[in-house]
Amino acid sequence: MRELKFVKNQPSSPNQSNSEKSTLSALQVPYSTLEEFLKYIERRAFHMARLSTRQIDDAHDIVQEAMYKLIEKYAHKQPLDWKPLFFTILNSKITDYYRRNSIKDKVFFKSKATPAEDDYYLDWESYSATASGTSGPDAQFIQQRNIHELSRCIEQLSHRQKQAFMMRCWEGYSTQETANLMACSEGSVKTHYSRAISKLRNMLEVNND
Amino acid sequence: MTDSIERTSIQKDLEVLEKMTKPKDLFRLANARRMALRQQSRRLPSFYWILATMSSCFVIGFMLFPIESVTPNGVNQSVLNVESQISQNQEYVMADDTDFYYWLDIYDE
């Protein structure tokens, strides 16, 4: 049976001194505890998983598994290491999801065209609640349409292209950091990223026309 | 449009997308975070449940209805076994009956 541990809502190590905390703040890390980190990262992780799987429930499962694994294995690490570790776990969980689905499709002869749950994720109520009050309805409409188109286009990228795009563009990692996260060479990351960007550009241009 | 401008615009859109997370999903994320922090055991994915159910059904099926061996000619092995038992029984019967006809031997002599 799995040993249950309770991780206290405290800094990662009891010896974390004030100087370490000041170092973290100097490096602009907006979290010092695991709970703060998970709060900080969960939305982005959810949307990354959602855009990768196109299934909201599966995205939630993947994020929860990644959180669970991070705390189980790497709670003792320094806060600066949490983010790359979390994204490595998240990426491997998404890859596992793709593998599992391909096996499932072969076993159950499932058709490739599975209905996406998140086709209408962006509704007007949630958008208008979060949109800034300064922009008018026209600007809001354009932004909402852009986000919708961007989401649809990201979903059409291949798995590796999505990973490269999300890590480089969304998370702002360098090519080397992304290569470490994706467990591949920097050249591969550059290739995947440039292909993803050019594909997105083409798709967005076609949709705008 | 240069790459940096394009990238900034995409980043901005993605940030808005993050902010637009629905309250229902935020609640589920908060629950997932809480469970992960407590390291509570998670439910198994439904795929494994389906696989486990199917395999156990197969095992039970094989136990209840075992597959009978069939000879290469398509003749059922159990039928052959019954036939061989019948022929053996007939031989026993014939051997028993020979005692009854002992007097025939007398006349032959």
Which of chain B's residues have a Cβ under 8 Å away from the Cβ of A70?
A: 36
CATH number at residue A143: 1.10.10.10
Residues in CB range of A154: below 8 A, 6 or more apart: A51, A162, A165, A166, A200
Domain ranges of chain B: 1-42
Residues facing residue A11 across a β-bridge: A33
CATH number at residue A57: 1.10.1740
A147–chain B nearest CA distance, Å: 6
Confidence check on the interface: ipTM exceeds 0.95, yes or no: no
Same structural domain, A108 and A139: no
Q: Is A120 inside any structural domain?
A: no
Residues in CB range of A137: below 8 A, 6 or more apart: none
Same structural domain, A145 and A209: yes
Q: How many whole angstroms separate alpha carbon A39 and alpha carbon A22?
A: 21
Q: How many whole angstroms separate alpha carbon A88 and alpha carbon A99?
A: 17
Tens of pLDDT along B28-81? 999 999 999 988 766 656 677 788 888 888 888 888 877 665 555 555 666 666
Same structural domain, A158 and A196: yes
Tens of pLDDT along A123-153? 656 555 555 555 677 777 787 888 888 888 8
Angle between helices A186-208 and A175-182 (to 10 degrees): 100
Average pLDDT in the A152-166 region?
Answer: 90
Q: How many whole angstroms separate alpha carbon A141 and alpha carbon A11?
A: 43
Residues in CB range of A149: below 8 A, 6 or more apart: A204, A207, A208
Q: How many whole angstroms separate alpha carbon A163 and alpha carbon B14?
A: 15
What predicted TM-score, i.e. pTM, was given to this entire model? 0.67
Residue from B45, B85, B27 nearest A104 by CA: B45
Q: Which residue in the set A6, A44, A104 is minimally distant from B39, CB to CB?
A: A6
Same structural domain, A141 and A102: no
The residues on A that touch B, with CB distances below 8 Å, are 2, 4-7, 9, 34-35, 38-39, 42-44, 46-47, 56, 60-61, 63-65, 67-68, 70-72, 100, 104, 121-122, 126-127, 130-131, 143, 146-147, 150-151, 169-170, 172, 197, 200-201
Q: Is A148 inside any structural domain?
A: yes
Q: How many whole angstroms separate alpha carbon A26 and alpha carbon A46?
A: 28
Same structural domain, A107 and A56: yes
- Give the mean pLDDT of chain A: 79
Q: Is A99 inside any structural domain?
A: yes
Q: Is A12 inside any structural domain?
A: no
Same structural domain, A102 and A148: no
Q: Determine the distance from the C-alpha atom of residue A155 to the mean position of all C-alpha atoms in its chain, rounded to a whole number.
A: 13
Residues in CB range of A175: below 8 A, 6 or more apart: A168, A186, A189, A190, A193
Same structural domain, A107 and A71: yes
Domain that holds residue A45: 29-114
B53–chain A nearest CA distance, Å: 14
Q: How many whole angstroms separate alpha carbon B62 and alpha carbon A3?
A: 37
Q: What angle do CA B60, B63, B64 make, to 5 degrees?
A: 85
Which residue, among A2, A39, A43, A50, would best test binding to B if mutated, counting the most B CBs under 10 Å from its CB? A43
DSSP per-residue codes, B91-109: HHHHHHHHHHTHHHHHHH-
User: How many C-beta atoms lie closer than 10 Å to residue B17's C-beta?
Assistant: 24
Q: Is A62 inside any structural domain?
A: yes
Tens of pLDDT along A72-117? 999 899 888 899 999 999 999 999 999 988 888 777 766 555 555 5
Please give the structure tokens belonging to residue B70.
Answer: 């069939």
Residues facing residue B70 across a β-bridge: B76
Please give the structure tokens belonging to residue B32.
Answer: 């997932």
Q: Is A194 inside any structural domain?
A: yes
By 3-state DSSP, what share of chain A in percent is helix, strand and coil, each rounded to 5?
70, 0, 30
Structural domain count of chain A: 2
Please give the interface size between A and B, counted as residue pairs whose CB atoms are below 8 Å apart: 97
Taken in order B90, B96, B99, B100, the sign of the CA dihedral is negative
Q: Which residue in the set B10, B41, B42 is minimally distant from A150, CB to CB?
A: B10
* Contact between residue B22 and residue A122 where contact means Cβ atoms under 8 Å apart: no
The confidence band for A1, taking pLDDT boundaries of 50, 70 and 90, is very low
Residues in CB range of A177: below 8 A, 6 or more apart: A84, A167
Query: What pLDDT is recorded for position A101?
Result: 86
